[in-house]
Amino acid sequence: MTVLRVTGLWKSFGSQSVLTGVDLEVPQGSLTAVLGPSGSGKTTLLRVVAGFERGDRGSVTLGSGVVDDGHHYVPPEHRGIGYVPQEGSLFPHLTVRANVAFGVRGSRRRRRGPHAPATLSGGEGPALPVDDLIEMVGLTGLGGRYPHQLSGGQQQRVALARALAVRPGLVLLDEPFSSLDTGLRSSVRADVQAVLRSRGTTAVLVTHDQDEALSVADQVAVVHAGRIDQCGTPQELYDHPSDPTLARFLGDANVVAATIQGDRVATPFGPLPWRVGPGMRAPQGAVTALVRPEQLRVETGDGPGMRARVVRCEFHGHDTVVTVEPIAPLPAPGTPDGGEAIVGSGSVTVRSEGNLVLPDRTPVRITATGSVLTWPSAVRGAAR
Amino acid sequence: MARTGTVSADGWAPTPDGDGPGPGATRGRHRPWVLWGLSVAVAALLAVPLVYLVAEAASSGWSVTARLVFRSFTFELVWNTVRLSVAVTACCAVIGTATAWLIERTDLPARRLWAVLVVVPVAIPDFVVGFGWVSVAPAVHGFPGALLVMTLALYPLVYLPVAAAFRGADPGQEEVARSLGLGRMATFRRVTLDQARTALLGGCVLVSLALLAEYGAFEILRYQTLTTEIFFESQRSYDIPVASSLSLILVVLSLVVLGGDAAARNRGRITRSTRSARAGTLHRLGRIAIPATLGLVVLVVLALGVPMGVIAYWLADPGTTTLPATTTLIGAALTTAGYAAGAGVLATILALPVALLAVRHPRRSTRALERSTFIVQAVPGLVIALALVYFSVRALRPFYESTPLLILGYGIMFFPLALVAVRTSVAQAPLAFEEVARSLGRRPPAVWWRIVLPLIGPGLAAAFSLVFLSTVTELTLTLVMIPTGVQTLATQFWAFSTNLSYGAAAPYAAVMIGIAVVPSSVLGRWFDRLPARRAPDPRDPS
């Protein structure tokens, strides 16, 4: 069952178009990440779904009820959603317990408005006991505290408990972890994910952090310039991004010019098996190919592969990221007019396990394993 | 001019440089037409005195106005006003900054006690300070007398913002300067003073504006300025063309002060890389502590001891007066409290739409509207009074010398004070809170009642109190606009003291100060407490 369906949604502020035809479906029980750079319109999308803004065109459907289609508009208090804003926005004059209980007392208050269609079924039923919620987000004993007495991570947990307290059919999280320190971020993120999963709550998370989107969500929708570019599971998106721009946005990517030769594709790193995105036709001739850094290996001595020199070695503890440049300019296969084989910066990124110390300018060989994703050579983002 | 609390006005003044909508702001919602309408109406109301000046000059003919303006007597008045303003502002800048540095940045003994004592004079009206000196030392008069009295009365207006700037400044900057090889003096000059520059400037502007608007103290000190002459021409000679052309000059001078402030402010902005203020290490005074303490003792004795002592002296020795009192002490106190409460409510209500518009819909246009309302700071109470009397005589005869008109005068005069406090309080309740509350199933009225009001309530109370206290000690506008036969504490004090019945005047001064001092300290504590319960700073770009 689909909890949230957005169809052809447009929204502009003055002359500035922010959403230009967004389509999105969120299945029940899923955690969907809306991923996009700042200014892409992802927060506006969330605010229209919450009812803080009204769409210009298109429709928003929650459960079985249309809540915004340009004519009808259901105010936020009748939508049955939970909302966790970026800073938590805990009410500063209320204790933790009063914050969590804010929407709870007298669940009759959640009655439908006169012209509001039934929205989300999750909004029904008895509210959860406040103390259980506080315990669930790991803040047992802190119910009497005021928000300013809590750390940033604790505040976000309270904000989540407050949103869950009204048994929302859908929880909207607006970059809830971005104001936290790196170390705290991953632990709060994991806890929030666990709480949402344990209750089977459907949630939409807005974020600009691709790492966060890929690690937490069941479904990722990438927003770019007011539209959803691609939507799928994290694996689908990482393995089959629809174009090089998306590929780079979802992680480090080496985009190279290559040529199909039967069941292999000739790349600067040697011939490799190829694959294409779902629904794409088998490629022919010159293509653009994606090689992820973890597919590459740095080797020394003689042998096959791309001959290169080390530009930079960054040690990250769990792995080392080596940046190399081809020793000689590398013409793209099938383009004798001198197009470069390596698209983008002209350098290649390799992720190598463990510690690898290579002085600058060390001559190395780069080899590849696994299959590479190929696009037609004219795909967006393939030009230098 | 009464000015309890104007001190903080500058510190909370609107930020000239917002970086687009913060979390407290809307993201391009539909235009808030109702707020716009109300705010424009308020701005129009505040512009009434300026409209009056232009209308009056036009009706008597610009050539007549020009002749009145360019008389040699006018030049003398302007010279008197300007030279005193410059001299007092300079003295206040030096005393205020030095005191603030000693109390905030050094290991001076009993710093907390001094911090209270040097601020208290701000609650004593200038004309009471003048009365204190003149009644025991008649030699205090003219330019030197005015310089002494006004400096002692006004230096806290510099001290308060500068001390706040020192408290909030990044101590790392001084340390970096020392590490780069600057000596103590060079560091003070190039780093410490620079940290306080905006605050110092703001304080100096307040001092200058207060001087331009002051009437009572100069009358007592027999020092002739534009304001005393305007008062004389309008209230004794009934020569309105002369009074209003002089008012025009006075307002232009004030506007020059405000404009210079804005220009200087835009030249440099304080940047601060870290948000959390670490307490800096205090400078060790060593042997300098003794002369420094002596200096503070002299300052406090002159600024606080003399006026309080004189009032106590006259209270103990009431003497006799031939002037019949038109009111009792209690009657005057009740009248004063009534007016002040009305003024507080009115100014707070006027400030609310403007503050909501400016904080919640920060655009170039709303900021411009908000800033335009601050221009009323440049209009002395006397000029506001003349304008309202002028319009009531012409168009609203029933309101002439009426209580509502007097309260309207206070409301206009103290609007900037109220706006500063209301603005701060509205920023405590960013729209995000309302959105969350509504997503939790609460309707807008419930959200206002349970979230918005509790959050902005203390700030509204502060705005009310600031205006209340300022009204209690207001003299000039009250003298012009008060209904016949009614006396406030200030006007009754004035009637006695100008009649040289010092003993009879003293109790009124005592009650006035009693009402002003105690709540001021409570207010000060509220403003200090504010950051602790603050939600994420809406001005902080995130």
pLDDT in tens, A180-231: 888 788 888 888 888 888 888 999 999 998 888 998 899 999 998 889 989 9
- B343 contacts B522 by C-beta, under 8 angstroms: no
* Yes or no, beta carbons of B23 and A87 under 8 Å apart: yes
Which one-letter amino acid corresponds to residue B202? G
Judged by a CB distance cut-off of 8 A, whether residue B23 touches chain A is yes
* Yes or no, beta carbons of B440 and A166 under 8 Å apart: yes
Per-residue pLDDT tens over the stretch A123-171: 444 556 888 888 888 888 898 999 989 988 899 889 999 998 888 889 9
Residues of B in contact with A75 (CB under 8 A): 438
DSSP state of B343: H
More confident of the two residues A137 and B181: A137
**Inter-chain contacts counted by CB atoms under 8 A, chains A and B:** 91
Judged by a CB distance cut-off of 8 A, whether residue B364 touches chain A is no
The radius of gyration of chain A from alpha carbons, rounded to an integer in Å, stands at 25
Q: Calculate the alpha carbon distances from A329 to A21, B272, B437 in Å.
A: 43, 47, 61
Which tokens hold the place of A266?
Answer: 């000739």
> Which residue in chain B is spatially nearest to A161 when comparing CA positions?
B440
Residues of B in contact with A53 (CB under 8 A): 27, 29
User: Alpha-carbon distance B389 to B383, whole Å?
Assistant: 10
| Minimum mean pLDDT range among A100-109, A312-321, B137-146 | A100-109
User: Alpha-carbon distance A82 to A80, whole Å?
Assistant: 7
Residues of B in contact with A166 (CB under 8 A): 440-441
> Which residue in chain A is spatially nearest to B445 when comparing CA positions?
A77
**Does B273 score more than 60 pLDDT?**
no
* Yes or no, beta carbons of A83 and B532 under 8 Å apart: no
* Yes or no, beta carbons of B454 and A93 under 8 Å apart: yes
pTM confidence score: 0.76
pLDDT at B90: 95
| Minimum mean pLDDT range among A59-68, A101-110, B227-236, B472-481 | A101-110
Distance from CA of B20 to the nearest CA of A (A): 13
* Yes or no, beta carbons of B432 and A89 under 8 Å apart: yes
Judged by a CB distance cut-off of 8 A, whether residue B436 touches chain A is yes
Q: What ipTM is given for this predicted complex? A: 0.76
How sure is the predictor about B82, in pLDDT bands with cuts at 50, 70 and 90? very high
> Which residue in chain B is spatially nearest to A104 when comparing CA positions?
B440
Fold classified for B34-529: MetI-like fold (1.10.3720)
Closest CA relative to residue A292, chosen from A242, A210, A348: A348
Contacts of residue B111, defined as CB under 8 A and 6 or more positions apart, other chains included, come to B102, B103, B104
Per-residue pLDDT tens over the stretch B46-59: 998 888 888 888 88
Judged by a CB distance cut-off of 8 A, whether residue B363 touches chain A is no
Residues of A in contact with B458 (CB under 8 A): none
The domain limits of chain B are 34-529
Per-residue pLDDT tens over the stretch B463-508: 888 888 889 889 989 999 998 888 899 999 988 888 888 888 888 9
Q: Output B108-112 pairs: Cβ under 8 A, ≥24 positions apart.
A: B108/B285, B108/B289, B108/B292, B108/B293, B108/B296, B109/B289, B109/B293
Provide the percentage of residues in chain B whose pLDDT is more than 70.
85
Which one-letter amino acid corresponds to residue B313? Y
- A384 contacts A335 by C-beta, under 8 angstroms: no
Go through B421-450 and write b for each residue having 16 or more CB atoms within 10 A of its CB, e for each that does not.
bbbbbbbbbbbbbbbbbbbbbbeeeebeeb
* Yes or no, beta carbons of A77 and B438 under 8 Å apart: yes
Residues of B in contact with A87 (CB under 8 A): 23, 432, 535-536, 542
* Yes or no, beta carbons of B542 and A53 under 8 Å apart: no
Which tokens hold the place of A293?
Answer: 């850094």
